[in-house]
Each structure stands twice: as C-alpha cells, then as structure tokens.
Chains A and B, each alone.
Chain A
Amino acid sequence: MILEALSYGFMQKALIAGIAVGLICSFMGTFLVLRRYSLFGDGIAHVAFGGISVGLFLGVFPLWTAFIVSIFGGLGLQKLRQSTKISGDSAVAVVLVSGLAVGVILVSSSGGFSVDLFSFLFGSILLISQEDTIMILALSAGIIATLTIMQKQFLHLTFNEEQAKLAGMRTTLLNYAFVVLASITVVTSMRLVGILLISALIVIPNITAMQFGKGFKKTVFISMSISVISVVSGILLSYSLNVAPSGTIVVIAVGILIGTLLLKSTGILGKIDIKNPSKLTHNS
C-alpha cells in the first residue's frame, strides 16, 4: 500500500513539500513557543485568510497577497506590542480578528466561499502543483538558512531581550526580522494543514520535544524529527484511510505528545539518551 502510494506523483510532491513544511514549522516554532507566541501562527494565518480573500477578490494569485498582508500583519502585531504595551496574546487576538473580518467581508461581497478558499482553510497538500512544491522548497531552504545563521541572536533575544540588547544586538530590528520570518513560515505552511490547524505544527512538536529536557540544539532536532514523522505518517495514513491529511497529521502529532507525556510520567523518558547535535556556532 505504501509503495503504491509512493508511486503517485501527487503523493511524492505532497511528501516532499510536507517534510519541508514540517521542518520550518518546528524550527521556527521553537522560538515562537519559547517567546510565548504560541498563537502567533494562528493570528498570522487568519491575517493570511484576509490576504487570500483580497487575492481572490482582485483575481490575482492569492498566495502572493497572503504573503504581503501577513508580513504587514506580523509587523503590525509587533508594533502593537511594543508601542502600546498590549500583551502578546491580546495583540495576537486583535490582529487575528482583524484579518478574519476583512476576509469575511471580501468573501461575502464576492459571492461566498470558493473551493480555493476551502483548500486554504483546511489544507490541500495532495493537490499542490509542481510549481507550488518548488516554491515551498525554495522558501523553506531560505527560512532554515536564515534561522541557522541567526540562531544565536534569536536564542539570546528569546532568552532575555534586555541581555541581548546589552550584548550589542539591535533588538528592535531583530524583533521585526523575527516576525517577518515567522509570517513567511506560516503562509508557506498553510497548504499543508490549512489556516485552521497551522498552530498545531508550530506548537505541538515543540511542546513534545521540550518534555525531553535537553539543550537547545537537541530540542530543535527532536522537534523536527517529531514534525517530519507526523507529516509523513499523516499523509500516508490519510491516503490509506481516505481521510483529510491535515487532520490526520495533527492527530498523530497530538498522539506523540500524549505518548511522550505518559512516558515522562512513568520516568522512562529521563533514561532516553539522544546523541549528538553539535554545539552552537557563535558567529554574531
């Protein structure tokens, strides 16, 4: 059954794009979860909904308008937090409902929901084209490269912003770069699990990885592994059960989290030794 599934072009594209999205969501998610921005993905995805609606309304490629609107949404969210001292979750709520409201208005004025919009809401990884796959791969490579290069700065910023400032980092600029990168990650990932479930891929593998109580590099490695396992098994299982891949991926990720929590409660998890990852690089 698995071999049969792998022989189809659409499954190959889905798996390749899915793995790429799994990697960027978990890597970016590590910083988002630690900065208590867990619902950032949700907020930006809803802003992206507004962006997609703008694209469909104007008759241009909706993913591009989603990118533009989401990046501005992310920057607005950051500005809202910094200049008004509104807490992170409240700022996310304001941005989330604003994006959704704009989307609903545009959708209703253009005659209701379309198939395109549904595919963005619930994900459509099995329907992506070769061009989409290439775009997801290129953006994912860029995101991973940027996160790897700026890992030390983002980690310091996440750990303690004031200390990062005293170390000579331009924290305001870094914060804006961070939200732009996070916004691009969210929009790139929407095709896999959809707007409504994107937070799951950002948050769940990271919460699971943190249960292992390891250092930063190992936690990122575990999180990426869980994410890729969830995506690959989710896509394959959804094919054999003929159900939606987005929901299947998230249910598997939640299952791994529950299993990890159970192992932790029995004390088995503490005995597992995960080898490797090399030390942090330090070229600021």
Chain B
Amino acid sequence: MSVTNVLDVKDLTVNYDNLPAVDNISFDVKQGDCLGIIGPNGAGKTTLFRAILGLQPYSGNIKLFGYEDSKYDSIVPLIGYVPQKVTFEPNFPATVYDVVSMGLISDKRIVQGVKLIQQCDCCWNRIYQSIEKNDDKITQALHTVGLESLRNRRIGELSGGELQRVFIAKALVKDPLLLILDEPVASVDVESQTKFYNVIKTINEQNNITVIWSSHDLDAISKYANRVACMNKKIFFHGEKEKFFSDKELLKMYTESSMQMHMHDHEH
C-alpha cells in the first residue's frame, strides 16, 4: 500500500509587494516526522505556515495528505496550529477550559476529513475513536500539557509559558493529524521551554502525531526533531538532523545567514 506524505510542498513562492518572502521552496513531511524548521527572523517561516494552512496566497503547489486547496475546507480543521502569538483582549472572560474547548470540532467535520484522507491510503484509524465525550477530550488535552490544575483559571492571569501550553491543548483537543507550531517558545522562560519540548516529544512519539515546528534554537532542534529544514527565504537543507548537524559547512552557512539578518534588522 502506498503511503501518501502528510505534506508535499513544491516550487512554493510567496511574494509581498513583488519581493519574495518564500522563494521557490520544495520539501515533504512524512507521517510521524518531527520536522524542525530553522531560520533567522524574516526567513519566511510564518509565511510558509500560513500558505500551508490556506491563509496566504502563493504560487507553486502544496498538498496536504495528497490533496490540494479545493479540499482544504475538510482537511485544515484536522490540523492543529499554534501561531507565534495569539493576541486577545487582556480582560477576555474566558477560562483555560473555555479556550481549549474552542479547539473542538464537530464529529461530522472529523468524519468528512478522515474519509477524504482514508481514500488516499493514509492510515488514521485512531481518529475514529474521536466520538469520546468532549469533556474527556478537554481533560485529556490539559493533562498532556500539564495544565489540569489551571482549567478554571482566566487566561489573562496566565504566564507566557502557560498560555503557550493552553494553545497547544487547544490544538490537541481535536486529535490533530498534523501539529504546526510557529516559534512556540519565543516568549517562554527556560524552565517552561524544557517542559514544552517534552510535551512535543510525547505528542510526536506516543500519540504518533506528525509535528512541524519552527525555531531559532539549534540545541532544541538537535534534541527534539528527527528531521530538519533550514531556510532563509530559500531552503538550504532538508533531511535527517544527523546529516545537518554533522555538516560544518551547512552550520556555518546558517550562522552567517542568521547574522546577516540580525545586522539587517539592526540597520533598519
């Protein structure tokens, strides 16, 4: 039985005012991967994620579970996405429980998406177990990210690390087929970062959820990802992490590229 990739990106270009934010990149993601995307600020990581999720116009070809844009309505709800920053009113009257519950999608939608993906030979039978009670799902998601004790806390009272975990629980509560995390520890203290990475590792290895996450942190990528994509508008490398970290030329290229972007940021 042929296995369709979770994600296929081919010749993808995204322009802002005729300048490329993402420049002709191609890569794929397989079931069970934990792909770390590294690149400096302005490298186009967020733009890439937004294009994958259908939030950003692009040229080229993106396939999710073998399907292109026209089937996005059914497939995207099955993807858990945690943006770099979710802005909300500080006094927003919602508890952790309220926010995580927003991640639930209807059984009808789950079946719609899963049926479509089943047709392309991907094996996601575990999704059929989704007809659990919603409350159990929320409790389970909060348990995974270690926030059961804060379920009735108002979100405006949480720290950056706790908030980030709430949004991961929100993404997990729908039993996602793919989890996309955009610089998830950007505003999180070091202790919370370790907790967070362990959560991601559990989700990927024990729950068998494919994960794509972007970061500047080479150490974290070397510890927690199994594949790496290195980008700065273009993709410089895509493959096994061991290959990336053993190639001194690639590491040097990444460091120089990051420095150039850093200097550029300072000049402006």
Contact = CB atoms under 8 A, between A and B. Distances in A.
26 contacts: A34-B93, A152-B102, A159-B99, A159-B102, A160-B86, A160-B87, A160-B88, A164-B102, A166-B77, A166-B81, A167-B103, A168-B73, A168-B105, A209-B93, A210-B91, A213-B156, A214-B93, A214-B154, A215-B93, A215-B94, A216-B94, A216-B95, A279-B97, A280-B101, A283-B106, A284-B106
A109 to B, nearest CB: 44
Nearest to B81: A166
B53 interface: yes
B16 interface: no
Given A162-B55, A168-B105, A215 B79 contact: no
Contacts of A162: 55, 83
A125 B158 CA distance: 44
Contacts of B154: 213-215
Contacts of B186: none
A155 B94 contact: yes
B88 A159 contact: yes
Can you list the 7 inter-chain pairs with the closest CB atoms, starting with the nearest? A168-B77, A219-B93, A215-B95, A282-B134, A156-B102, A284-B106, A282-B104
B154 to A, nearest CB: 6
Nearest to A156: B102
A163 interface: yes
B135 A279 contact: yes
Given A162-B55, A215-B95, A284 B105 contact: yes
Given A160-B88, A209-B93, A280 B98 contact: yes
B92 A34 contact: yes
Q: Is the interface of A mostly helix, strand, loop or mixed?
A: helix
A129 B204 CA distance: 65
A215 B88 contact: no
Instruction: Please tell me the size bucket of the interface on A.
Output: 20 to 34
Interface string A213-238: 11111110000000000000000000
Contacts of B106: 283-284
Nearest to B55: A162
Interface of B: 53, 55, 73-74, 76-77, 79, 81, 83, 86-89, 91-95, 97-99, 101-106, 109, 134-135, 152, 154, 156-157, 174
A152 B109 contact: no
B30 to A, nearest CB: 23
A162 to B, nearest CB: 7
B105 to A, nearest CB: 6
Contacts of A214: 93, 154
Interface in A151-188: 152, 155-156, 159-160, 162-168
Contacts of A155: 94, 98, 102
A164 B103 CA distance: 9
Contacts of B79: 166
Nearest to A222: B93
B94 A163 contact: no
A152 B134 CA distance: 13
A64 to B, nearest CB: 35
A44 B117 CA distance: 46
Contact of A152 (B87, B97, B101): B101
Contacts of A30: 93
B164 to A, nearest CB: 14
B201 to A, nearest CB: 24
Contact of A210 (B88, B93, B99, B157): B93
Nearest to A206: B93
B56 to A, nearest CB: 11
